[in-house]
Structures are given as structure tokens and as C-alpha cells.
Amino acid sequence: MEKRFLRDLEVSALGLGCMGFTHSYPPFPEKSDSIAVIRAAVDLGVTFFDTAEVYGPYTNEELVGEALAPVRDKVVIATKFGWDIPADGTVNGATAYGLDSRPEAIRKAVEGSLRRLRTDRIDLLYQHRVDPHVPIEEVAGTVADLIREGKALHFGLSEAKADVIRRADAVCPVCAVESEYSMFYREPEKDTIPTLKELGIGFVPFSPLGKGILSGLFRRDTKLADNDFRASIPRFQGENFQKNMELADFVEELAKEKRATPAQVALAWILAQSPSFVPIPGTKKLSRLKDNLASLDVSFTPEELAAIDARLDEIRIRGERYPESQAKLVK
């Protein structure tokens, strides 16, 4: 397995996003089946696993902790804090949660994550969303204290803008920024990615397959279940979805030219952008896991990348990437 560095943290070139095992993308597998996929990923060379307290809430960390306990010292676990999760856990889904990155809330979240993950340290601790009510310097200072205490090893941000990244990095070195990025969503190219390259910070693209639209599994008559998170996203609704399938068609054409699958092409394109990019595609199936990992065997020439980017610039993506109720949390 190819290795890459997120600043000074070595990880496998592809990680595994674990959210879908328990959150957003039903139906969810039996726990034993999920554990089997996670452990198979380890056997296949994956060392980087992404979770969060809010996925469930809490059940995802418990799953990842149990699955990785036998190989804890061989893997890198990333988790996240930053939500005001009700004590009884009865609210269904992160859309109803407020943000809370006060120092006491961060410490409470970390203690819970350590317990559920069955570990004494979190390798990469992200702020899940920037809290406008808590200065990022205060957040970074709290994480710096946790790093000194050995409860966290590296600091990360998720969906943070360039100015926030700079301010945080000045207090506590930022190891990685996790944000949505794919052929389906290229907004980070404007400010975020140039800032990361300037500061030497790693980039962890989530939803690198465009929440599935780049996987080759979608067709224009695809119907999402009402309880599938994507059904609430404007990009996957009505005329927007029909228009956005133009990108899926283009990726399928590329896949045929490369004798690869659409997912492999979409991931290989991200991998080719920079050696400090580490995508974390999620999957619940071993077959898809193997398919994704084979993207490491797909390469592009500079000329091919330029032609792809020129075509991507021509394709207009329709609709917002989050429902209106969540949009304010990622601005």
C-alpha cells in the first residue's frame, strides 16, 4: 500500500470513511459484517480510519473501536468533536444539533471518544465544524493542551476556511484539513487548497465519489429511499439530478478509456492532484473497498489531467450540496 503524509502523520494513500456503517446511508449492515469489512481494510493495507462522535451518535466510534482494537498500534484513527449532542441521544441526525466547541465541551467529547474507541489517544482530532461562538484560537489552544497530555496526537479542522486555518495553525500546528472535494465539488480549489499547500498541511477529501454519483451506480432513473440523506440534498433532486448526471456520464467515458471503473477514475483524479491528498471513500461492502483501492493503479499524464480539468470546467453542477437547514453549518 502506498503511504502518504498529512504534514508529519504517515497514513495509507487511501483511508476508509466509516460513517456509512451507522449513519446517513441506510440500510446499515449487521455489526459483525461491518467489523469484517473494517478488518479486511486493514488486511489490504489501509491504516487510516475516519469516524466521529456524531455518527450515530456514538455508535460509529463504538464500532470502529471494537473493529480496530486488535490492531490499534498499526492504524491511525481520526475522530471529531464540535456538536452539542443531547444527553439522551434521542435527536435523529446531526441536522438538529447545534455547535459547541467550548473547551469544556471539547474535553468531554474527547473523553467519550477515547472510551468508545477503546484507546488512550486519538491520532487525529478534528473540529468537526467551525463554531462561530468560540474563537478558533481558543479551540486550538485546548487541542494543544490535549496533545501535551497525550490524549490527542495531531490537530485537524473540517470544512474550515483559509483565514480560520491560518489562525488555528498559528496556535497549534494543523496536521490536516478535511473537506468535501471531488469532481462533483471543487470549491476548495479557490482558497482552501492553496492555503494548505502554502502551510504544508495535508488535505483529506471526504465524499470523494460525490456521495455516490461518481461511483457508476447512479442512473437517471435512480430513486433514493426517503431515509437516505442524499434524498434531502438539492443536487440529488429533480432536474438538478438529471443535469448533474452529465458529470457521471463523463466519468464513465473516462473509465472506459482507462479500462477502470468510474470510482477508480474519480479517486485517481484526486490522488493525482497532490501527494498530500488522502481521500477517505466510504463503503459498507468488501467488493467496493477492493474496487476503490485499485484506484492506486490508475494514473494520468499531465496532458490528460489538463484535458479532464478543462471538461470539468465546462460542466455546470446544479443545486446546493446540503439542505438549507444544514447549509449554515458549512459556510
Task: Give catalytic residues, as residue numbers.
Answer: 55
d(CA 66, CA 60): 10
Other beta carbons within 10 Å of 118: 15
Strands 76-81 and 48-50: parallel
Other beta carbons within 10 Å of 119: 19
| Beta strands, E only, 159-296 | 174-180, 202-206
The amino acid present at 320, given as its one-letter code, is: E
Other beta carbons within 10 Å of 184: 24
d(CA 139, CA 160): 13
Vertex 228: Cα angle to 247 and 212 (nearest 5): 25
Q: 60-91 burial, b if ≥16 CB within 10 A, otherwise e?
A: bbbbbbbbbeeeeeebbbbbbbbbebeeeeee
| Beta strands, E only, 18-123 | 48-50, 76-81, 83-84, 98-99
Compute the half-sphere exposure of residue 190: CA atoms within 13 Å on the CB side of its CA: 5
The amino acid present at 10, given as its one-letter code, is: E
Rounded-to-10 torsion of CA 122, 110, 279, 171: -90
d(CA 69, CA 47): 13
